[in-house]
Amino acid sequence: MPSPAPAWRRALRAIVLWFDTGAAPAGDGDPDRIDWLRVLPFIGLHLACLGVFWVGFSWFAFWTAVALYAARMFAITGFYHRYFSHKAFRTSRPVQFAFAVVGAASVQRGPLWWAAHHRHHHRHADTDLDVHSPRHGFWRSHMGWFLTPRGFRTDFDAIKDLVRFPELRLLDRFDILVPVLLAMGLYALGSWLESAHPGLGTNGPQLLVWGFFVSTIVLFHVTVTINSLSHRWGSRRFATRDDSRNNALLALLTFGEGWHNNHHHYPGSARQGFAWWELDLTYLGLRAMALLGLVSDLRPVPAALRTARREAA
Ligand SMILES: [Zn+2]
Ligand SMILES: [Zn+2]
């Protein structure tokens, strides 16, 4: 067995990996233990939200945070999830790239990493191999799993259809780039508005804290409830092999992802709310994009599968 790398080299490697996820990890140690040094930026994102006590509040900063939550949630659910992970519709290469960039701004890493782990989840949902099943504990399923060397890794065999796009590989490798550009852009916008439109009551630091840090952290925790809470809380329309649930509140907050039992029953559909009353904002957004000709071939749920295999009460 090779001897473990010295501590200084492991520390240096972790810092290089903040910027370039293509760098080789230290390669030793427990793959399921949290890599505290590597996840310092993630902890820092949370702490930066405390900045609201210094920068104060303005409605402009608040609505910027809401708009960025909505745009990025749609990119995560519509594209990272339904398009990259499940191929539930078709689109052009420029639109694919544009929404990969918006998704990357969510600080949930690149589309290749996201899709590879998600496909793994569907193959092994709630078995021992599922890295974010709540059967292994709530916090592990919510966030602990991807703070580990195993979670950081991307299984390129699972995403052979996606790795052939160099622009996606680039976004994935330098996944810090888009978030940093967004943060800098917000700071610059706020600074300009402070002098150009002082009536808005905003400034650079305020727009950075609300638009980037607060919006990103709320977006993150809401997104990952689909791994943690959606396999625990809610009802089960279908007798899937996993613990997935339908939960209206989570579906509202995640723009349709909370119909998670539907989704595990038939993951290939662009639509996750199967019944007319199951609000699925992402699907409505995709329908609108289809009307504009930006996406096409939204895969429906086969009629027989909408009601089949109903779980006995
Ligand atoms: Zn699931
Ligand atoms: Zn899925």
DSSP E strands in 131-243: the ranges are none
Tokens of 201: 């009551």
State residue 140's pLDDT score: 86
Contacts of 239 (CB under 8 A, 6+ apart): 309, 310, 311, 312
Strands 295-296 and 90-91: antiparallel
Residue 18 CA to ligand 1 centre (angstroms): 28
Distance of CA 177 to the CA centre of its chain: 16
Ligand minimally distant from the alpha carbon of residue 85: 2
State residue 70's pLDDT score: 98
State residue 49's pLDDT score: 97
Residue 248 CA to ligand 1 centre (angstroms): 15
Per run of 10 residues, the mean pLDDT along the chain (length 313 residues) is 70 82 73 84 95 96 98 98 98 98 96 95 91 87 85 90 96 95 98 97 97 98 94 94 95 97 96 95 98 97 75 45
Residue 85 CA to ligand 2 centre (angstroms): 7
Residue 264 CA to ligand 2 centre (angstroms): 7
CA distances from 288 to 75, 274, 284 (A): 14, 18, 6
State residue 26's pLDDT score: 65
Q: What DSSP assignment string belongs to 15-69? A: HHHHH-TTSPP---S-TTS--TTTTHHHHHHHHHGGGHHHH---HHHHHHHHHHH
Distance of CA 293 to the CA centre of its chain: 25
State residue 237's pLDDT score: 93
Question: Nearest CA to 118 among 260, 294, 275?
Answer: 260
State residue 312's pLDDT score: 45
With contact defined as beta carbons under 8 Å apart, do 126 and 243 qualify?
Answer: yes
Residue 186 CA to ligand 2 centre (angstroms): 31
Residue 258 CA to ligand 1 centre (angstroms): 10
Residue 48 CA to ligand 2 centre (angstroms): 31
Residue 19 CA to ligand 2 centre (angstroms): 28
Residue 115 CA to ligand 2 centre (angstroms): 9
Q: State the CB neighbour count (10 A cutoff) for residue 214.
A: 22
Residue 181 CA to ligand 2 centre (angstroms): 29
State residue 5's pLDDT score: 72
